[in-house]
Homo-oligomer: A and B are copies of this chain.
C-alpha cells in the first residue's frame, strides 16, 4: 500500500464513475501532508481542496486567547475545504495536519466547475458535508456533557477509523489542544485507559490494544457519528471492507 497513492484511496474519489473520473482525475495533484502543516487558516481563501488518501486533518477553531477546540476530523473518507463549493469561500476555522499522510488536491476552479455540473460529484460532496455536519453537532454535544476520559475515547476511535494501524503518533499536549482541555487532564485520562489495559503509550506514541474495550467506554457520540457516516457515505460502495449499512 505505501507508495501506491492512487486517487481511489480517497473514498469520495473512489466513488466517482467513469465520467467523473475523466473530468477530475487528470487535474489531481498528489501532495504530502506533513505533521502540523496548516492547510488553511481561519478566513483565508483556499486555492485548492484536498482529498486525503492517508493521514488525518483536524478542523479546529482557535480563540483569541490561543486556546483551541477541534470541530471535526477528516481522513480519506472526505475532503478538506467544503466551504469552497458551499459558496462561502472561507471559514472561521483552521485545518491542520494531525497525522502525516498525503492527499490529492484539486484547484478550486475545476472543483467548482465540476460541482456546478450537478452530477455525481456534487452528490458525493454534499453527502459528505452532511456527515461532517453530524460530526460537528456531536462534538458540541460531547463537549457539553461528557468527561475528558470519554472524549479521549471518542477521539482515539475517530482517529483510528482514519488510519490503517492501531497506533498513532501524538503527544498528550497536542491531544489536549484538540479536545480543548488541559494537558494534565489528558495525562490523567490516558493513565486510566492504560491502567485498564485499553491502550499503551509513551512519549508521543499511542497504541490501542483493546478497541472493543474503548468502544465499551466511549459515550454514545462516537456511535452516532460513526453510524451516520456509514449511512451517508457507506453507499459509495467502493470500500474494500464490508460494512453494516443498515437503513434507518
* Cβ contact within 8 Å between A129 and B86: yes
Bound-state Cα–Cα, A129 to B82, Å = 11
How many copies of this kind of chain does the complex include? 2
For residue A91, CB closer than 8 A to chain B, the reply is yes
**Residues of A within 8 A of B (CB-CB), count:** 47
Whole-angstrom distance between the Cβ of A245 and the nearest chain B Cβ: 13
Q: Which residues of B contact A209 (CB under 8 A)?
A: none
Task: Tell me the interface secondary structure of chain A in the complex.
Answer: helix
Q: Is A107 an interface residue (CB 8 A)?
A: no
List, in ascending order, chain B residues with CB within 8 A of A123's CB.
87
Which residue of chain B is the closest to A43 with respect to CB atoms? Answer: B248
| Interfacial chain B residues near A232, Cβ < 8 Å | 87-88
Residue A139 is within 8 A (CB to CB) of chain B in the complex: yes
Contact residues of A with B, CB < 8 Å?
Answer: 43, 59, 61, 63-64, 67, 69, 71-72, 82-83, 85-88, 90-93, 116, 118, 123, 126-127, 129-134, 136-141, 143-145, 180-181, 220, 224, 228, 231-232, 248
Q: 4 tightest CB-CB pairs across the interface, nearest first?
A: A140-B140, A143-B143, A86-B130, A144-B180
